[in-house]
Each structure stands twice: as structure tokens, then as C-alpha cells.
Amino acid sequence: MPDLQKYTRYLERIWETQWLTNGGEFHEQFEERLRLYLGVEHLNLLVNGTIALLVALQALRINGGEVITTPFTFPATPHVLYWNNIRPVFCDIEKDTMTIDPVQIEKHITPDTKAILAVHVYGNPCDVEAIDSIAQKHGLYVIYDAAHAFGVKVHGRSLLEYGDISALSFHATKLFSSIEGGALVSHSHKQKERIRFLRNFGIANEEHVIGPGINGKMNEFQACFGLLHLDVVDKEIEKRHQLTDLYRKKLANLDGIRCLKDILHVKHNYAYLPILIDQDAYGIGRDRVYAILKECNIMTRKYFHPLCSNYPCYAALPSSIHSNLPVAHRISNEVLCLPLYGELAPSTVEDVCKIIQEIPNTL
């Protein structure tokens, strides 16, 4: 949480001006400071990451046909397609980064394909170069769900610069938060202006509504929270980096447990700590590890399980068939996200790792 006294001072200012939403002073400050922090040219704030994704599709005028996406993601990713009357086409993922596998994308392209909606899962960059060349070859848009990728850089450049539009989430559970919140990063002034209208019902001025927009505006309370969180996010990333190193060191050489590795030339944000549990090598499977840790009052997350392709609303799609998604199924059954937050004590990380080390000996 940001400093409460500072937040209170911002609240006093809101009470003074009585400006609560619709592009207030804190909104404008936050939009600009965030843009500079992330090192991008064109950024619009939105009320949350889901509306940001919805608006991204509308900004690109994609509201029908098919979009190729990943089943290994949060429900919002395929749901925004559904809400835009688009059929999700699920593509398998790559086993090391858990992002969409570019080698598998082309086989899903049909005359109805409009775009690729890829997710930088856990902040791991998708293979942006390969996705870009497939999109160029077939004339497709690329949208990145960058909900996990706050501050991630590749070769010193913001990951958000890739694709046509990237969508961020600042939900309370994210590394960086404005309570609820989100943003879109686009690549032209024209696109930024279009998004600005779309997030405000399409209202251009008192006399003109230029298109069918939505209410996607961030309010002043969220903007203040985000502004203050920007002051502390670097420290949070640094603490999570140290805790990640500790987890990786303690869990190294443990049969059947795999941690992710840092990728060369990537500045990671250490937002999550996923491990993969290979039941044959470790002795027991992910679900039992989850239950044992829970009994010890250690709350982990099966993130992402179930796969989106298994939700009843998508299970009947041809691309949801198990044989199309073997890697996603395996990873979804093996993955477990361990506790990770700046205030987590290193000694607690050691305790968690000790339990994981000892489980096979108790079988």
C-alpha cells in the first residue's frame, strides 16, 4: 500500500476541488508520469485491464471473425473477444515461457482471422519478433495482453512498444496497482485520440458523439493511488527480485521442480513465482502440493488452471480439443504460483522451500 498520509493529502485536494472523475488533475498527472515511467509515446489510462482490452479491439475495429489467442491466461483475455462478437481460436503455448507458440500460430489462420491476441504471461515476453513477422505476412493485427508485464524491457526497450496495442492491468493483485485500473499503449497520436473518445462514450464535445464508445474512465481516487504507487514500485520489484533469487536457489536441484529462468536481454519485473511440478519425478502432483501447503497456511495459486479452453463457454470450440493444446494442458496441470510480495520475509521463503524439499521424503 502507498503511504496513507500522502494519500490523505491527495484526498483533501479532491474534497477541495470536488473533481471526482472525467479527466481530473490527478488523472492527467498519472497518465503523463506513467507514460514517462514506462518509456512509451502514447498511453491512455482506463478503468481496468478488461475494459482496456475491450477498447483495444474497438480501437482497431475488430468486432467479428476470429482472433488467435492462448488458453493459458486469465478469463478476461478470451472473454473480451466473446464480448466483441469474435470467436477465440486457441493456440498452444511454448513450454519455457508459457506464452503463445509462434510455430503453432500459422496453422490456425483462416480467411476469418483478424488478429493475434497474445499474453506476456508472468511478464515473460512473447516471441514478439516471430509474432510480428507472422502478422505482417498475413495482414493481421497484434494485441498484447500485458496485464503482467508492467515495466518489462527487452534490449532496453519497453515490451509495450511491440504489436499494435498493448493492454496493462493495475488491479489490486498486480505488481503495480491503482486499486482497479488499466492502460493502453498505442503507436500514433491518432490512435491515442481514438482511444480517448472510446473510453468516454465516444463524446467529442457537448454537441458531438463521434462513435459508440463505452465508460472506461479512471477516476481521481484510482489515479492518486497509482501516482503514489509509482513512487514505490521500483523498490517492490527489487524486493521481489531478491526473493525470486532465494526461491530459485533453494529449489534448484530438487527433482521434479522447475523454476523459470531469467531471459537474456530481458529486464524482468518478478511479478510472480510460478514453479512446475512434474509428478513422476517429484513423487506427487501439483494438486496435492497445493493442498499440503494450504494445510500449512501457505496460500498458493493454480494460476492458470483450468485452461480457458476448458470453460463451458469455450469447450465446444474446435480449437479447444485437447490434442490441439498438449503443452498448455501439461503446464496448466503442473503450475503452482508461490507467495511473492515485497513484505514477504526471506525466512518465510526458506520455510516454504523447506516444506517443498521435504514432501518427497514423507511419501
Cα–Cα–Cα angle for 199, 202, 206, rounded to 5 degrees: 120
Side-chain half-sphere exposure of 186, counting CA atoms within 13 A:
21
**Quick one: which segment of 44-52, 84-92, 200-208, 226-234 binds ligand PLP (CB under 6 A)?**
44-52
List of E strands, 193-326: 203-205, 208-209, 257-259, 266-267, 274-277
Q: Is 24 helix (H, G, I), strand (E, B) or coil?
A: coil
**Quick one: which segment of 142-150, 219-227, 239-247, 337-345 binds ligand PLP (CB under 6 A)?**
142-150
Nearer to ligand PLP, 142 or 254 (CB): 142
Nearer to ligand PLP, 68 or 353 (CB): 68
Q: Does 171 bind ligand PLP (CB under 6 A)?
A: yes
**Quick one: which segment of 43-51, 64-72, 85-93, 341-349 binds ligand PLP (CB under 6 A)?**
43-51
Q: Does 144 bind ligand PLP (CB under 6 A)?
A: no
**Quick one: which segment of 8-16, 72-80, 225-233, 350-358 binds ligand PLP (CB under 6 A)?**
72-80
Identify the residue among 166, 169, 244, 332 touching ligand PLP (CB under 6 A): 169
User: Which residues, including other chains, have CB under 8 Å from residue 9's CB and lie 6 or more apart?
Assistant: none
Q: Report the amino acid identity of residue 304.
A: F
Residue facing ligand PLP at closest CB distance: 49
Burial 109-128 (b: 16+ CB within 10 A, else e): beeebbbbbbbbbbbbbbbb
**Quick one: which segment of 14-22, 42-50, 240-248, 316-324 binds ligand PLP (CB under 6 A)?**
42-50
Identify the residue among 10, 72, 74, 282 touching ligand PLP (CB under 6 A): 74
Q: Does 90 bind ligand PLP (CB under 6 A)?
A: no
Q: How far is CA 215 from the centre of its chain?
A: 22
Identify the residue among 49, 71, 123, 163 touching ligand PLP (CB under 6 A): 49
Nearer to ligand PLP, 31 or 193 (CB): 31
**Quick one: which segment of 133-141, 145-153, 238-246, 291-299 binds ligand PLP (CB under 6 A)?**
145-153
Q: How many binding residues for ligand PLP (CB under 6 A)?
A: 14
Identify the residue among 24, 71, 125, 182 touching ligand PLP (CB under 6 A): 182
**Quick one: which segment of 26-34, 45-53, 234-242, 273-281 binds ligand PLP (CB under 6 A)?**
45-53
Q: How far is CA 101 from the centre of its chain?
A: 17
Nearer to ligand PLP, 56 or 289 (CB): 56
Smallest separation (angstroms) from ligand PLP to the CB of 143: 11
Please name the residue that has the C-alpha cell 510455430. Answer: 103
Element (H, E) at 133: helix 128-138
Write the DSSP assignment of 187-215 as a string of letters. Answer: SSHHHHHHHHHHTBTTEEETTEE-S---B
Q: Does 48 bind ligand PLP (CB under 6 A)?
A: yes
| d(C-alpha 185, C-alpha 195), whole Å | 10
Nearer to ligand PLP, 145 or 164 (CB): 145
Q: Does 147 bind ligand PLP (CB under 6 A)?
A: yes
Beta bridge partner(s), residue 200? 215
Judge whether 171 and 181 are in contact, CB under 8 Å.
yes
Q: Does 77 bind ligand PLP (CB under 6 A)?
A: yes
Judge whether 151 and 38 are in contact, CB under 8 Å.
yes
Identify the residue among 40, 54, 119, 131 touching ligand PLP (CB under 6 A): 119
Judge whether 240 and 92 are in contact, CB under 8 Å.
no
Burial class (CB in 10 A: 0-12, 13-18, 19+), 132: middle
Q: Which residues bind ligand PLP (CB under 6 A)?
A: 48-50, 73-74, 76-77, 119, 145, 147-148, 169, 171, 182
